[in-house]
Chains A and B, each alone.
Chain A
Amino acid sequence: MMLKVENLTLHYGGSQILHGIDMEARVGEVTCVMGNNGMGKTSLLKAIAGTHPRSGGKVTLDGEDLGVLRPEALARKGVAVVPQGRMIFPLLTVTENLQTAFATRPKPHVIPEEVYELFPVLRDMANRRGGDLSGGQQQQLAIARAMIMRPKLLLLDEPTEGIQPNIIQQIGRVIRLLRDRGDLAIVLVEQYFDFAYDLADRVYILKRGAVDVAGMRDDLGRERMKAAVSV
């Protein structure tokens, strides 16, 4: 099972943001997309998740061409997103936020116990409104919500941004756990180098909308990656 991106291009209005990206992400691996701000990481993620139309290239999931599907159709095909800024539903309760993930799931719609085990805070806050949660709690909620969708591909966009260190550690643990379960591919867009380096199996470093460095983390090595990111 794998995601394959070929020669993907993307424009914002008149300016081209992505110039022919090729990448792949495999089940049981964390594929990390790194690079400084404005290099196109988030745009790449949006193009895969269908929340921004791409202008060229091909995206296949398990060999199936995803064409130009809208995000809701992609979700049905097994793509889940934890976007930048969490994007939880502020006026829905925590439970309701989790329930939104059932849109692509067959009934019965029961929130799996596992979610609460990983994120106990969500049980405690079950009837609070999402917007009343702290940033870290919201991030946990967003990841839990994506998990409930039982995706084949999980896209995480800067899950550590603005989050206190202790929760970052917890998020890292959850990502590792999901990877180790081996039933989904994870694409992690991250700027926090140490966090990304710890989790990554496969690394793509973007520079001005193109892949600058690509390869397995262990092949590339910390120093080379650090150098590529720091420029």
Chain B
Amino acid sequence: MMRFLLLALVLALPAHAQDAAAVLDTYRDQVERPSRTTIAPVIEALATSGDPAAATVLAAWADRRLAVMDDGTFVIMDGDALSDLAGQPVEGEAQPLRPNAGVRGLIASALVPFQLTDPDPAARGAARDAIARNPAPEHLPAIRGALARAADPSLSRLERLLTLRFDPDPAARVAAIESFGADQSMDLRAALNPLLATTRVATLGPPEGNVAREIPVSELGREGAYDLLVSAGLAPARLTRDAAQAALVANIADGQVAGIAVASLNTQAARDDAYSALEAAGTVPPAATEDEVDAALDSATFADVYAEPNADVTDAARAALNGIATRVGAMQAADLALDALSLASIYFLAAIGLAITFGVMRVINMAHGEFIMMGAYTGYAVQQVVPDYTLSLVVALPLAFLVTFAAGVALERLVIRHLYKRPLETLLATFGVSIMLQQLAKNIFGTQARPLTAPDWLSGSLVINDLVQVSMIRVAIFVLALLFLGLYLFIMRRTRLGLEVRAVQQNPTMAASMGISPGRINMLAFGLGSGIAGIAGVAIGLFAQVTSELGQQYIVQSFMTVVVGGVGSIFGTLAGAALIGFLQKGIEWLNPSNTLAAQTYMILFIIIFIQFRPRGIIALKGRAAGD
């Protein structure tokens, strides 16, 4: 408040102004090594200097364009060009100053009055951001001034947010609180919650101030309550074990404490006895007894007291927060569901290739994860050549398919073909392929994670409101998963290829006698499953890390997805992915501090689930299923 008054005063009297250069010179040390804790006077001095260039200097400083020349002159950098504070070009070398984020925030805050009325909308936006980040009482008149000049809905919302916090008139604050109705935005809650901040106090009489509630001793616990009294200076500290021990040590004489042999003090009971003996002998002062503790607790009151003195304001804030609590809860649930859906679609995408190679062809391909990894590296390699992210994605997706399709075909021809009758050995051989591919990836791309960057249109979030949002990449993965579900259904059910794949899977010899080439079909189907893994790899690489171990993260879960869902059914895989995704997020929600536990319990649940449905959620039944 004080500062604003000063500012207004100085702005009104430009004659007394000191120029910006002089201010900077005065505070040279703070300017060159700025700290948020010490820089406030400098900024204030600059802002109030009255120098018309002050705003420019502050803005340049915040942008890290304020620089110092070798001779100590402050200049403003604009690309390579230098100019002095008044805007005249200068020649020479200068080192830019690097104020940290905290300092920049303060500068931005100080710039608010200049920017709020700036014709440039970007500058006004910056001012709004600065206020939203560091709301301060002195912003209120500036906003109201700006609002008086021109109506601006976003500014008026900001004004109400500031009013409910900083307006001197409680009635105005209550009105501002109530004006928001059922709004559940984060900024509103961020403004309301501090009003309800409490401190816990212990008093001998009734507590003072805006009391939130009194707390019974039973809730605090006897120890906790007494500690509170002690820290409030209302009761003497109790004897701690350490202190008792120190007293014993201090009173050792001739290998004895109060007549008891030191060697026998190897239990706590013996030490307590020894201390009592010392008390009895008057060597140490008696410690507070249980009765004294009880008496002290009886006479004291414990309460939570609001920092905000005005009860009307706290009541209104509490009412408002309670009112939006259910909505917030619902939104959080929706957000969680969206997260779960997103995780499910990631698992589905990773597993859909397996749904073909494992679900339909019954080939256990432990190198499936490495195909995902190959897809991701393909995406990376494409980005090295095609710098445009959108274009590179357009190239990478089909290329990843081709690369992994080829790898799949090669694997089928060279290895799996010879093992169709030995499924468990396929597991071992493809595991060998898996470790080969991982090491090859390390040898080729190195062990460091490689960047795979989403284009801008995919790098943001789909924001439904403050609480419910999901990143665009996840939306894209969800869409991709749906797309592949459709593609899978189309290929398997509507195309000749699908028919032949299914025929070969059920009876390769007979299929051959029908003129279908099982070798070709197996190769194509395996290639297709692998190719989809490659595309999944690009998608996964966009939101996670691209390393040679990328595939390992998904392999166990992918197999579980297919098995839990029911082998041979794409809807089973879908159901499996959904089950795993929702389960994991649900458990994470129950225990937000330990993501690892969520994974553990999720897997345990799946294992138990399989006991009850050994053939998965959607199981083939009847004679046709065979045995």
- Indicate whether A and B are direct neighbours in the complex (CB within 8 Å): yes
- Contact residues of A with B, CB < 8 Å? 49-51, 70-72, 74-76, 80-81, 83, 87-92, 96, 99-104, 129-132, 145, 149
Given the complex of chains A and B, what is the CA–CA distance between A139 and B516 in angstroms?
20
Contacts A131-B624, A132-B622, A132-B624 given: A92-B503 contact, CB under 8 Å? yes
Across the interface, B515 reaches (CB within 8 A) one of A51, A75, A83, namely A75
Given the complex of chains A and B, what is the CA–CA distance between A129 and B622 in angstroms?
10
A75 and B512: CB pair below 8 A? yes
B502 and A131: CB pair below 8 A? no
Chain B contacts with A in 514-539, Cβ cutoff 8 A: 514-518
Q: State whether the Cβ of B387 lies closer than 8 Å to any Cβ in chain A.
A: no
Given the complex of chains A and B, what is the CA–CA distance between A100 and B514 in angstroms?
7
A92 and B515: CB pair below 8 A? no
B502 and A89: CB pair below 8 A? yes
A89 and B509: CB pair below 8 A? no
**Chain A residue nearest to B510 in the complex (CB):** A87
Given the complex of chains A and B, what is the CA–CA distance between A129 and B506 in angstroms?
13
Q: State whether the Cβ of B119 lies closer than 8 Å to any Cβ in chain A.
A: no
A83 and B516: CB pair below 8 A? no
Q: Which residues of B contact A102 (CB under 8 A)?
A: 496
B624 and A100: CB pair below 8 A? no
A103 and B626: CB pair below 8 A? no
Q: How far is the CB of B514 from chain A (nearest CB, A)?
A: 5
Across the interface, A103 reaches (CB within 8 A) one of B502, B506, B507, B515, namely B515
Q: How far is the CB of B252 from chain A (nearest CB, A)?
A: 88
B507 and A87: CB pair below 8 A? yes
Contacts A100-B500, A131-B624, A131-B626 given: A89-B515 contact, CB under 8 Å? no
Q: State whether the Cβ of B268 lies closer than 8 Å to any Cβ in chain A.
A: no
Q: State whether the Cβ of B499 lies closer than 8 Å to any Cβ in chain A.
A: yes
In the complex, 7 of the A-B residue pairs with CB atoms within 8 angstroms, ordered by the A residue number, are A70-B517, A72-B512, A74-B513, A87-B509, A91-B506, A129-B622, A145-B514
Known: A51-B509, A71-B512, A83-B513. 14 other contacts (CB 8 A): A51-B512, A72-B512, A72-B513, A72-B518, A87-B510, A89-B502, A91-B506, A92-B506, A100-B500, A102-B496, A130-B624, A131-B622, A131-B625, A132-B624
Q: State whether the Cβ of B623 lies closer than 8 Å to any Cβ in chain A.
A: yes
Q: State whether the Cβ of B337 lies closer than 8 Å to any Cβ in chain A.
A: no
Given the complex of chains A and B, what is the CA–CA distance between A58 and B503 in angstroms?
30
Given the complex of chains A and B, what is the CA–CA distance between A11 and B8 in angstroms?
108
B513 and A71: CB pair below 8 A? yes
A92 and B622: CB pair below 8 A? no
Instruction: Give chain B's interface residue range (CB within 8 Å of chain A).
Output: 20 to 34
Q: Which residues of A contact B502 (CB under 8 A)?
A: 89, 91-92, 96
B512 and A100: CB pair below 8 A? no
Given the complex of chains A and B, what is the CA–CA distance between A39 and B496 in angstroms?
39
B514 and A101: CB pair below 8 A? yes
Across the interface, B503 reaches (CB within 8 A) one of A74, A81, A89, namely A89
Q: Which residues of B contact A96 (CB under 8 A)?
A: 499, 502
**Chain B residue nearest to A87 in the complex (CB):** B510
Q: State whether the Cβ of B482 lies closer than 8 Å to any Cβ in chain A.
A: no
Q: Which residues of B contact A50 (CB under 8 A)?
A: 512-513
B503 and A72: CB pair below 8 A? no
Q: How far is the CB of A135 from chain B (nearest CB, A)?
A: 11
Q: Which residues of A contact B514 (CB under 8 A)?
A: 72, 75, 100-101, 103-104, 145, 149
B510 and A83: CB pair below 8 A? yes
Q: Which residues of B contact A81 (CB under 8 A)?
A: 513
Across the interface, A90 reaches (CB within 8 A) one of B496, B500, B626, namely B626
Q: How far is the CB of A70 from chain B (nearest CB, A)?
A: 7
Given the complex of chains A and B, what is the CA–CA distance between A129 and B625 in angstroms?
10
Given the complex of chains A and B, what is the CA–CA distance between A96 and B504 in angstroms?
13
A132 and B623: CB pair below 8 A? yes
Across the interface, A89 reaches (CB within 8 A) one of B506, B512, B517, namely B506
Given the complex of chains A and B, what is the CA–CA distance between A96 and B624 in angstroms?
14
Q: How far is the CB of A92 from chain B (nearest CB, A)?
A: 6
A49 and B513: CB pair below 8 A? yes
Given the complex of chains A and B, what is the CA–CA distance between A75 and B500 in angstroms?
15
Q: How far is the CB of A12 from chain B (nearest CB, A)?
A: 16
* Smallest CB-CB A-B distances: 7 pairs: A131-B624, A75-B515, A104-B515, A103-B515, A71-B512, A87-B510, A72-B517
Q: State whether the Cβ of B146 lies closer than 8 Å to any Cβ in chain A.
A: no
Q: Which residues of B contact A99 (CB under 8 A)?
A: 499
Q: Which of A51, A80, A83, A131 has its CB near the most chain B CB atoms (within 10 A)?
A: A131
**Chain B residue nearest to A80 in the complex (CB):** B513
Q: Which residues of A contact B515 (CB under 8 A)?
A: 72, 75-76, 101, 103-104, 149
Q: State whether the Cβ of B480 lies closer than 8 Å to any Cβ in chain A.
A: no
Q: State whether the Cβ of B45 lies closer than 8 Å to any Cβ in chain A.
A: no
Q: State whether the Cβ of B316 lies closer than 8 Å to any Cβ in chain A.
A: no
Q: State whether the Cβ of B511 lies closer than 8 Å to any Cβ in chain A.
A: yes
Q: How far is the CB of A77 from chain B (nearest CB, A)?
A: 9
Interface string of B591-623 (1 = CB under 8 A from A): 000000000000000000000000000001011
Q: Which residues of B contact A70 (CB under 8 A)?
A: 512, 517
Q: Which of A50, A76, A92, A145 has its CB near the most chain B CB atoms (within 10 A)?
A: A92
B510 and A103: CB pair below 8 A? no
Across the interface, B510 reaches (CB within 8 A) one of A74, A89, A91, namely A89
Q: Which of A72, A76, A88 has its CB near the most chain B CB atoms (within 10 A)?
A: A72
Given the complex of chains A and B, what is the CA–CA distance between A74 and B620 in angstroms?
34
Q: How far is the CB of A82 from chain B (nearest CB, A)?
A: 9
Q: Which residues of A contact B499 (CB under 8 A)?
A: 92, 96, 99-100
Q: How far is the CB of A104 from chain B (nearest CB, A)?
A: 4
Contacts A72-B518, A100-B503 given: A131-B623 contact, CB under 8 Å? yes
Q: How far is the CB of B25 from chain A (nearest CB, A)?
A: 87
Given the complex of chains A and B, what is the CA–CA distance between A102 and B514 in angstroms?
8
A91 and B500: CB pair below 8 A? no
Chain B contacts with A in 475-506, Cβ cutoff 8 A: 496, 499-500, 502-503, 506
**Chain A residue nearest to B517 in the complex (CB):** A72
Q: Which residues of B contact A101 (CB under 8 A)?
A: 514-515
**Chain A residue nearest to B623 in the complex (CB):** A131
Q: How far is the CB of A142 from chain B (nearest CB, A)?
A: 9
Q: Which residues of B contact A103 (CB under 8 A)?
A: 500, 514-516
Given the complex of chains A and B, what is the CA–CA distance between A130 and B623 in angstroms?
10
Q: Which of B515, B620, B626 has its CB near the most chain A CB atoms (within 10 A)?
A: B515
Q: Which residues of A contact B496 (CB under 8 A)?
A: 102
Q: Which residues of B contact A89 (CB under 8 A)?
A: 502-503, 506-507, 510-511
Q: Which residues of B contact A88 (CB under 8 A)?
A: 510
Q: How far is the CB of B505 from chain A (nearest CB, A)?
A: 8
Q: Which residues of B contact A71 (CB under 8 A)?
A: 509, 512-513
Q: How far is the CB of B21 from chain A (nearest CB, A)?
A: 86
A75 and B623: CB pair below 8 A? no
Q: How far is the CB of A86 from chain B (nearest CB, A)?
A: 9
**Chain B residue nearest to A155 in the complex (CB):** B513
A129 and B512: CB pair below 8 A? no
Q: Which residues of B contact A75 (CB under 8 A)?
A: 512-515
Q: Which residues of B contact A131 (CB under 8 A)?
A: 622-626
Contacts A87-B507, A92-B503 given: A100-B516 contact, CB under 8 Å? yes
Q: Which of B500, B506, B518 has its CB near the most chain A CB atoms (within 10 A)?
A: B506
**Chain B residue nearest to A52 in the complex (CB):** B509
**Chain B residue nearest to A79 in the complex (CB):** B513
Given the complex of chains A and B, what is the CA–CA distance between A90 and B511 in angstroms?
12
Q: How far is the CB of B517 from chain A (nearest CB, A)?
A: 4
Q: Which residues of B contact A80 (CB under 8 A)?
A: 513
Given the complex of chains A and B, what is the CA–CA distance between A51 and B509 in angstroms?
7
Q: Which residues of A contact B503 (CB under 8 A)?
A: 89, 92, 100
Q: Which of A74, A91, A131, A149 has its CB near the most chain B CB atoms (within 10 A)?
A: A91
Q: Which residues of B contact A51 (CB under 8 A)?
A: 509, 512-513
Chain B contacts with A in 196-228, Cβ cutoff 8 A: none
